[in-house]
Amino acid sequence: MDYLMGIDLGTSSLKTLIMERNGKIIALSKCRYDVQSPMPGYMEQDPKIWWQACVQTIRDCLYKSGINSDEIASLGFSGQMHGLVLLDNKKELIRPAILHNDARSGDEVKELYELLGMKNIQEHLMNPLFTGSQITSLYWMKKNEVRQFRKIRYILSPKDYLLFRLTGVICTDYSDASATLLYDIKENRWWKKALECIGLSDLRMAPVQESIISVGKVLEAAGEETGISKKTVVCVGGGDQVMQALGNGVVEPGKATVTIGSSGQIFIPTDCPVGNPNYNMHTFCGAQENTWFSMGAILSAGLSLKWAGSVLEVNDFAELSRRAELAPAGSGGILFLPYLNGERTPHMNPMLRGGILGLNTKTGTNDFVRSVMEGVAFALREAMETCLQITPDPTLWIASGGGTQSNIWMEILADILGKPLYISKVEENAAVGAAITAGVGAGVYRNLKEGCKEVVSYQPDPVVPDVERIKQYEELYQIFKESYTANKMGLEKLSQIQRRDQDA
Ligand SMILES: Nc1ncnc2c1ncn2[C@@H]1O[C@H](COP(=O)(O)OP(=O)(O)O)[C@@H](O)[C@H]1O
Ligand SMILES: O=C(CO)[C@@H](O)[C@H](O)COP(=O)(O)O
């Protein structure tokens, strides 16, 4: 039988799975790791840890499945987007990866807007500039790590590093290329002006392929390390948002996903690159040429619940969900602002900080946990409304990510978005999407649409919003939006104090 392998490099863990062509998962393995924050606002990971996690989970999956590795027709990657991985001319790592949620380059964002010009950015990148994107992280390095900057020979996105370790091939895909903010989305090539502006040439950038393209076979040494056979075809894969969408059967306009992973996203496929007139959401390329999507991204979704758990010293998400179930809808009138590490859509502000408003003598820990889940859902609604200002509302919404494991969180999300939410029957949709992509690359499926049709089905009953709670949340949502405007300046000042104190 032909099996397919999907590998998803997340922010908090790496997941590998082996599935049959009909989507039945026969082995799944996860390896957790931490994000390092050596300075306030810095978010980094050592790519070698990703590779170790990749090796460990591949071996574990092969062992659990009991299959012969020759039977794996192909494998593909999904990866956290925007992050910066740098290799020197010996193809050695230059420094730890700077991640998508890094907030150090606020000044560089402002400078790059000046240097590149708003009109050019609108026309070529079709995205707002933001901290944690490759363009701003590279520009920060140029100013602050001159010696290391000079060593840069290859610039990769996170999943491309795993592809390189496995095959020796340097290459990326359209989705990750566009997410670097160094890529001209209209012209479909690296944007020379942006590269020149930060003192680099497009020779430093990886060749760009469709996600389904097979780049070759595993290297001898990597084969021995992982147990992957030389017969297995290795495909490029794509950014985790594109891969999770495919793993949820979202392959063309009409369907959309709302994701609660470590971060959170609204993902809407579009017929053309819609751009970003208000500089507060994203337009990126899809898995294949001439495919695009609009995206609203919030920085602390699942991460907010993780933080709440650490405050309460409850590190079990299922237990946190039970606690949220015990609190009333609206959490007794308290509101959580989930800006723990700044925010992207719609505020595009790395200097924001979180907040809890309306605390009173009756507020208890159950209210606190529920308000965190509600605050994340309010932020996702604001991201959704931002996208829907310029893209048509899809007919079907699918919830995705680790947050779907919580019934109460899904109920809250459906009520706050005011949308029935479908949930896929399988977990780990980004890894499933990577496996589907690899299946197309190896000829197991004729195309992505066929792969999605064979693999993806939804639980029979969507999570349906409740009419009464929709009304109740509407009132709170208006206060949530106003709270940003009312508190913005104070939150920014607090963030400055936090940086200053931690710097000292
Ligand atoms: N049983 C659960 N109940 C509530 N939330 C959960 C549960 N399991 C996972 N989560 C949420 O999902 C997040 C992880 O999502 P995941 O999609 O695995 O993230 P990533 O891909 O970024 O590593 C956790 O931080 C947590 O907030
Ligand atoms: O930043 C984005 C999208 O813009 C995220 O998709 C990251 O790529 C990481 O996702 P998680 O690991 O937090 O789910």
pLDDT tens digits, 388-399: 999 999 999 999
ipTM of the complex: 0.97
> Which DSSP category does 276 fall into?
-
Confidence of residue 427 (pLDDT cuts 50, 70, 90): confident
pLDDT at 202: 81
> 44: Cβ below 6 Å to ligand 2?
no
What CATH topology corresponds to 3-242? Nucleotidyltransferase; domain 5 (3.30.420)
Cα(242) to centroid(ligand 1), Å? 18
Tell me the pLDDT tens digit for each residue of 215-248. Answer: 988 999 999 999 999 999 999 999 999 999 999 9
Mean pLDDT, to the nearest integer, of 328-338? 98
Task: Say yes or no: do domains 3-242 and 250-423+466-504 share a fold.
Answer: yes
What atom in ligand 1 is closest to the CA of residue 262?
Answer: 22
Q: Judge contact between 401 and 302, C-beta under 8 A.
A: yes
Say whether pLDDT at 502 is over 80: no
Ligand nearest to the CA of 317: 1
Share of the chain above pLDDT 90, in %: 93
Distance set, CA 388 to CA 383, 392, 399 (Å): 9, 6, 17
The H or E element that residue 306 is part of is: helix 302-312
% of the chain residues with pLDDT over 70 = 99
Any idea which residue has 């349906």 for tokens? 464
Average pLDDT value for the chain: 96
Please give the angle made by the CA atoms of 479, 481 and 485, to the nearest 5 degrees.
105
On whether the CB atoms of residues 185 and 208 are closer than 8 A, the answer is: no
pLDDT of 504: 63
As for ligand 1, residues whose beta carbon falls within 6 Å of it are 10-13, 260-262, 302-303, 305-306, 317-318, 321, 401-403, 405-406, 409
Q: Which amino acid is at 242?
A: V
Q: Which atom of ligand 2 is nearest to the CA of 81?
A: 8
pLDDT in tens, 126-150: 999 999 999 999 999 999 999 999 9
Relative to beta strand 97-98, strand 44-45 is antiparallel
pLDDT digits (tens, 9 = 90+) for 155-213: 999 999 999 999 999 999 999 999 999 999 989 999 999 999 999 988 899 999 999 99
Q: For residue 239, which atom of ligand 2 is closest to its CA?
A: 8
What is the 10 CA–ligand 2 centroid distance (Å)? 7
- The whole-number pLDDT of residue 503 equals 66
- How many Å lie between the centroid of ligand 1 and the Cα of residue 401? 7
| pLDDT the model gives residue 436 | 98
Domains of the chain, by residue range, sit at 3-242, 250-423+466-504
| Residue-wise pLDDT tens digits, 31-41 | 999 999 998 78
**408 alpha carbon – ligand 1 mean position (Å):** 13
- The Å distance, Cα 485 to ligand 2 centre, comes to 26
For residue 402, which ligand has an atom nearest its CA? 1
- Tens digit of each residue's pLDDT (9 = 90 or more) over 442-468: 999 999 999 999 999 999 999 999 999
For residue 100, the ligand 2 atom closest to its alpha carbon is 1
Span 344-369, average pLDDT: 96
pLDDT of residue 500: 82
Q: Is 283 in the pocket of ligand 2 (CB under 6 A)?
A: no
Site to substitute for ligand 1 among 243, 317, 372, most atoms within 8 A of C-beta:
317
409 CA: nearest ligand 1 atom: 4
Grouping H, G, I as helix, E, B as strand and the rest as coil, residue 424 is strand
Q: Where in 166-325 does DSSP place strands (E)?
A: 172-173, 183-184, 189-190, 208-209, 214-216, 233-235, 238-239, 255-260, 264-270, 282-285, 292-298
**CA atoms 223, 224, 229, 231: torsion sign:** positive
188 C-alpha vs ligand 1 centroid, how far in Å? 34
Mutation pick for ligand 2 pocket among 43, 136, 263, 284 (CB with most ligand atoms within 8 Å) = 263
* Residues in the chain, overall count: 504
DSSP bridge pairs for 78: 8, 238
Give CA–CA dist 286/237, Å, rounded: 11
Nearest CA owner, ligand 1 atom 24: 302
Cis, bond preceding 277 (omega within 30 deg of 0): no
Q: How far is the CA of 489 from the centre of ligand 2 (A)?
A: 27
CA of 58 to the centre of ligand 1 (A): 21
Mean pLDDT of 253-262: 96
- 250-423+466-504 is a CATH 3.30.420.40 domain: yes
**Confidence band (pLDDT; 50, 70, 90) for 501?**
confident
Q: What is the pLDDT of residue 120?
A: 93
Report the distance separating Cα 25 and Cα 97, nearest Å: 31
